[in-house]
Amino acid sequence: DEASLRRYLDEAVAAAQEAGNLMLECFARNDGQSCVEEKGTSVDLVTKYDRQAEELVLKRLRACAPNFRVVAEETANKEELTEAPTWVVDPIDGTTNFIHRQAECCVLIALAVKKSAVLGVCYIPKMDELYTAIRGHGAYCNGRRISSSGCKDLRSAMVNQHLPSYSRGVKVVDRIMGLSRDLLTHPVRAMRCGGSAGVDMMHVARGRLDAYFEVGIWPWDVGAGQVIVEEAGGVCRDTLGGDFSLDSRRILAASSPELAEQVAQILRKHRYSSLDAE
């Protein structure tokens, strides 16, 4: 019910703020570069701060809802996302930005039920922005209602494409460049390249960006963003234009269904649903 969701949201906000404060301590100490570790590949990175932040967040969430499942980025032997109520957590989204002292990195917490986010929190400590949403009750930044831009036309859209952090194979890079070429010459008004799925979804939710897409993402990258974007009047789709699913590893978030379809048309041409086989 709504009262329980509000209680869960309050705990998720407190957890995100604790983790965000840890990020700010790292910024203040200028410590990020000194604790870089590689995960799967030399461009997929983690730091001790990701792990500490995740510990803080999970401790709080487990205390408030001991029966919920947890799917979190830094947990070894990750469980699959099921239909059961699940906390979906990315303690630091945009780790590479974080290491390079860029402001665009955040803490992401979602509660998913039946594989769809029912509440979401995104805290961007360096920008002092706290985003929240409960399904059916609107999206907010620092307590104020937000809405997406409503942009319907690629020609006036700013679109953000991410480069994969798990592969730099020539075939992968060529596919991405081919796609960028097509978008740029279409033409879109502007293209950007981001470093945090969470932050870019917040930009779409509050109308600073009109669309963001990526393949290879995980539920913790997009869970909080799904409910915040949708509650702000934007849409989340599959990169090919179909229904969004939290565990399909692809996302197209846009300011309107019309814009989503225009971007998806180009993505379909490039069969942009996965880069795994490259």
Binding residues for Mg(2+): 73, 90, 92-93, 221
Record the tokens describing residue 16, joined without a space: 């995100």
Phi/psi of residue 52, each to 5°? -65, -45
Cα gap 203→248, rounded to integer Å: 22
- Minimum gap (Å) between residue 167 Cβ and ligand IPD: 11
Number of chain positions touching ligand IPD (CB under 6 A): 15
- Active-site residue among 50, 200, 210, 221? 221
Residue 79 bears catalytic tag: no
| Residues 91, 50 contacting (CB under 8 angstroms) | yes
Q: How far apart are CA 48 and CA 234, in angstroms?
A: 35
Q: Could you give the string, one character per residue 65-84, with x where binding to ligand IPD holds by CB under 6 A and - elsewhere? A: --------x-----------
Site string for ligand IPD, 158-187 (x = CB under 6 A): ----x--x----------------------
Q: Write down the least CB distance from residue 143 to ligand IPD, Å.
A: 25
Secondary structure (3-state) at 178: helix
Catalytic annotation present for 221: yes
Which listed residue (47, 50, 86, 92) is catalytic?
Answer: 92
Q: Does 32 bind ligand IPD (CB under 6 A)?
A: no
The yes or no reply on residue 95 touching ligand IPD (CB under 6 A) is yes
Count of beta carbons in the 10 Å neighbourhood of residue 81:
19
CA-closest candidate to residue 102, choices 115, 93, 114? 93
Q: In the complex with ligand IPD, which residue's Cβ is closer, 221 or 231? A: 221
The one catalytic residue in 11, 50, 86, 95 is 95
* CA dist., res. 46 & res. 14, Å (int): 23
Euclidean distance between CA atoms 166 and 139, whole angstroms: 31
**Does 230 engage in binding with ligand IPD (CB under 6 A)?**
no
Q: How many Cα atoms are found within 13 Å in the side-chain-facing hemisphere of 136?
A: 6
**Among 136, 132, 112, residue whose Cα is nearest residue 121:** 132
Binding mask 126-165 vs ligand IPD (x if CB under 6 A, - otherwise)?
Answer: ------------------------------------x--x
Which residues in this chain contact ligand IPD in the complex, by CB under 6 A?
73, 90, 93-95, 162, 165, 194-197, 214, 216-217, 221
Instruction: List residues with catalytic annotation.
Output: 73, 90, 92-93, 95, 221
